[in-house]
Amino acid sequence: MAQVSDLRFLVTPGGSLQGRLRVPGDKSVSHRSIMLSAIAEGETHITGFLEGADALATLAAFRRMGVEIEGPRDGEVRVRGVGLRGLRAPDGPLDLGNSGTSMRLLSGLLAGQSFPTTLIGDASLTKRPMRRVTEPLATMGARINSSETGTAPLHIEPVSGLSGIRYEMPVASAQVKSSLLLAGLYAEGETCVTEPAPTRDHTERMLTAFGYPVQVEGSRIRLCGGGRLKGCRLRVPSDISSAAFFMVGASIAPGSDLLLEGVGINPTRVGVVNILRLMGADIALLDERLEGGEPVADIRVRSAPLKGIRIPEDQVPLAIDEFPAIFIAAACAEGETLLTGAEELRVKESDRIQVMADGLMKLGIEAEPRPDGLRILGGTLGSALASEGGGIDAHGDHRIAMSFAIAALRAGGPIEIRDCLNVETSFPGFAALAETAGLGIREVRT
């Protein structure tokens, strides 16, 4: 069979989103469910696991280190943990594809092993900054070689031991925090990480679910090495980052009324709800409950007129993956929206400030990129067809592709988006699910 080299979305304008949907499992929680269950003692039974390429890359990496894993089948996975010291040397480099979370968290988890590993990734991952983890890991005693610019491939050398550190993170990054905590499991003494602003706390919550003591006091997270994780049952909530496209879509498309079932509403992830509500969105959290240590709710979204806002900087880390979708909301809002304090968006799967500004301008929206954010003047979205020289380039970034697909709900003509294959990394089945809700989307593979 010929290899698919590109996936394009062709989306017809207009329509509304209706009905009940369940988006796939949370990517961050899925990664951690495999990592922690692999180094736990005994079996872990996971449900709701995200069968997207990123989480599957993590799963494949642990299989190659000798962990027996059954599934995933319909989101169900059984992992037979090998204990903290039971991983085996893989027979070659571990390819983590597009996944920054896999690479940064595995750097920490593998830094204290008695065997070497090499971590590699695709062109996008190979450009992303890794010094933010390799430098503090080095102060713990890790030996990790990267390229001259501090990027992958990462060669992790075996060491006889790590020692705990006290580390004040210069950037608000859950990946850095998690990487150091995972290394801390293997370190002598205490590892204490302080974050400059709250970031997603799935690692801390899940360590607790595995019976590993973690102390959280305000912005400080501490643990001691050498303990044990005990296999358990885990339920992965639906991913609020995937639900975000539908929250924006239902908000901007007149006549929409959509229910998103079982979505994770961890307080460190709800920035998108807070920001959209500030813009005037009609979002209700229903039947709030706790599932497997994570808060979950059904989210009802009805269309509402949106207004531009100055996005509060304290919401940035809480909505860090949702800005591409939020920018679409801003483009459909009345007046100006200003985002500042979000330079991290420039080093995600693509430079999300520039790539979103370019796409919005193609649709006729005034968008001014700034070093740390973006100013958007809401207006009327036009069309974007490649044949007319105006298709949107997703730059291989899953969230850019899905954001512009949703934008078609309010566009004046069809929108064509290229380089969408990586939607598979976080949201397999996006187009089919969006279509059942009312989006006129067609996939073209070439």
Binding site for 3-phosphoshikimate: which residues?
A: 27-28, 32, 173, 175, 321, 348
For ligand S3P, which residue has the nearest CB?
28
Please enumerate in sequence order all residues whose Cβ is within 8 A of that of 379, keeping only pairs 6 or more positions apart, or say none.
331, 364, 365, 366
CB 121 within 8 A of CB 115: no
User: What is the DSSP pairing of strand 117-120 with strand 143-145?
Assistant: unpaired
Query: Residues comprising the binding site?
Result: 27-28, 32, 100, 128, 173, 175, 321, 348, 352, 399
Query: Residues comprising the binding site for phosphoenolpyruvate?
Result: 27, 100, 128, 175, 352, 399
Q: How far apart are CA 370 and CA 351, in angstroms?
A: 12
Closest distance between ligand S3P and the C-beta of residue 28, in Å?
Answer: 3
Of 95, 321, 397, 419, the active-site residue reads 321
Closest distance between ligand S3P and the C-beta of residue 439, in Å?
Answer: 23
Q: Is the CB of 8 or the CB of 269 nearer to ligand S3P?
A: 269
Closest distance between ligand S3P and the C-beta of residue 169, in Å?
Answer: 10
Q: Is the CB of 304 or the CB of 320 nearer to ligand S3P?
A: 320
Closest distance between ligand S3P and the C-beta of residue 174, in Å?
Answer: 4
Q: Is the peptide bond before 72 cis (omega within 30 degrees of 0)?
A: yes
Q: What is the separation of C-alpha 361 from the centre of its chain, rounded to a whole number of angstroms?
A: 25
Q: Is 199 helix (H, G, I), strand (E, B) or coil?
A: coil
Determine the Cα angle at 324 with ends 318 and 325, to 5°. Answer: 85
321 is catalytic: yes
Token reading at 62: 């642990």
- Kindly list the residues in this chain that would bind ligand S3P in the complex (CB under 6 A): 28, 101, 173-175, 178, 199-200, 320-321, 344
Q: Is the CB of 200 or the CB of 362 nearer to ligand S3P?
A: 200
Give the helix ranges, DSSP H, for 140-257: 174-184, 202-209, 240-252
Give residue 283's identity as a one-letter amino acid code. Answer: I
Q: Is the CB of 118 or the CB of 268 nearer to ligand S3P?
A: 268
Q: How far apart are CA 219 and CA 196, in angstroms?
A: 7
Q: How far apart are CA 120 and CA 114, in angstroms?
A: 20
Q: Is the CB of 77 or the CB of 319 nearer to ligand S3P?
A: 319
Closest distance between ligand S3P and the C-beta of residue 410, in Å?
Answer: 26
Question: Among all residues, which ones are annotated catalytic?
Answer: 321
